[in-house]
Amino acid sequence: MAKKVQPIGVFDSGYGGLTVLREIVWKLPQYDYVYLGDNARTPYGTRSFDTVYHYTLECVQHLFSRGCRLVILACNTASAKALRNIQQLDLPTLAPGLDGPSRRVLGVIRPTTEVIGKYSKTGSVGILATRGTVTSESYVVEIEKFFPELAVYQEACPMWVPLVENGEYASSGADYFVRQHINRLMDQCAEIDTLLLACTHYPLLIDKIRQAAPPNMTILSQGHIIADSLADYLERHPEIDAQCSKHGQRAFLTTDSAEDFDRQATVFYGEPIQSAHLAL
């Protein structure tokens, strides 16, 4: 009899979410996963609230149609602009066959804000993110709930995603844009001792960010935070865990060219992958 596959869906606007998926897979290898990168419509960071919401919803619905009971929005911009609407408006009203109320969609902002305060000694943290995430103020609002004493400074880095998506993250041209934004952030407050890479693409720039930042800066990527949080979630929700199949399977989908995706994805995921094209 064929194995019933109900993978955990992991969504991102492009390649960036693979930096999150690799940590999740490392922590929880037994589950089945399907990754969907909306490469044909990336970047999301410069798009309106409505556009990001509709693109994200379309991708989430597709992941549901492939059997996912749980979908992680491994994209800060989608988490900031689409998650709440999907959770509150869409899940309760999905077609009866899709059984919306029993499905779950989780984002990356809440798990990150639950722990960020533990890393700072000075009480000042810097958030590096897309313009969409920064203007949504989601990090400022969520951090206030968990660490009200923490001073939060934000810097939008609109050039960083194109640099990464175009394979220029190690180039000397990238140095200029990395320094520019780190300097602007540090000009807001010299006491910042913790930088959050609040965009899934930015871990590829981490060496340059480390060089540009003052010494002894703590630089946080989200992958391990999301992986720990998902493990904890599945433990606390055995009814969801029971609906996630565990055969160790991985599938990768892209809305753009599968050949291009496979060529680029290795640096994000850490190992070669084979994707399939998805026409939305």
Q: Where in the sequence numbering do the catalytic residues fall?
A: 75, 199
Tell me if 76 contacts ligand DGL by CB under 6 A.
yes
> CB-wise, 164 or 186, nearer to ligand DGL?
164
Q: Binders of ligand DGL among 109-148, rule CB under 6 A?
A: 130, 133
CB atoms within 10 A of CB 89: 11
Task: Point out which residues pair with 152 in neighbouring strands.
Answer: 125
Interface size with ligand DGL, residues (CB under 6 A): 17
Q: Does 43 bind ligand DGL (CB under 6 A)?
A: yes
Contact flag: residue 77 with ligand DGL (CB under 6 A): yes
Residue at 89: amino acid letter: L
Sheet containing 151-156: order of strands: 151-156, 124-129, 194-197, 218-220
* Among 75-83, 119-127, 208-216, 227-235, the segment contacting ligand DGL (CB under 6 A): 75-83
Is residue 56 a contact residue for ligand DGL (CB under 6 A)? no
The answer to whether residues 160 and 14 touch, using CB atoms and an 8 Å cutoff, is no
Asked whether position 199 contacts ligand DGL by CB under 6 A, the answer is yes
Piece in contact with ligand DGL (CB under 6 A), picked from 25-33, 71-79, 141-149, 246-254:
71-79
- Structure tokens belonging to residue 5: 């596959």
Site residues (CB under 6 A) for ligand DGL, limited to 174-193: none
* DSSP string covering 210-242: HHHSPTT-EEE-SHHHHHHHHHHHHHH-HHHHT
19 lies in the binding site for ligand DGL (CB under 6 A)? no
Binder among 13, 112, 136, 255 for ligand DGL (CB under 6 A) = 13
Only one of the segments 2-10, 194-202, 227-235, 245-253 lies at the binding site for ligand DGL (rule: CB under 6 A); that segment is 194-202
- The residue among 74 and 258 lying less far from ligand DGL, judged by its C-beta, is 74
Q: What distance separates the 2 farthest-apart alpha carbons in the chain?
A: 62
Please say which residue, 22 or 246, places its beta carbon nearer to ligand DGL: 22
Nearest alpha-carbon partner for 204 in 33, 1, 19? 19
- Cβ 246 to ligand DGL shortest distance, Å: 27
Among residues 237, 232, 234, the alpha carbon closest in space to that of 246 is found at: 234
Which of these segments, 39-47, 55-63, 88-96, 250-258, binds ligand DGL (CB under 6 A)? 39-47
Structure tokens at 151: 């001073």
| β-sheet with 70-73: strand ranges across | 104-106, 70-73, 8-12, 33-37, 250-254, 275-277
Q: Please report, as ranges, the residues that interact with ligand DGL according to CB under 6 A.
A: 12-14, 16, 42-45, 75-77, 130, 133, 161, 199-201
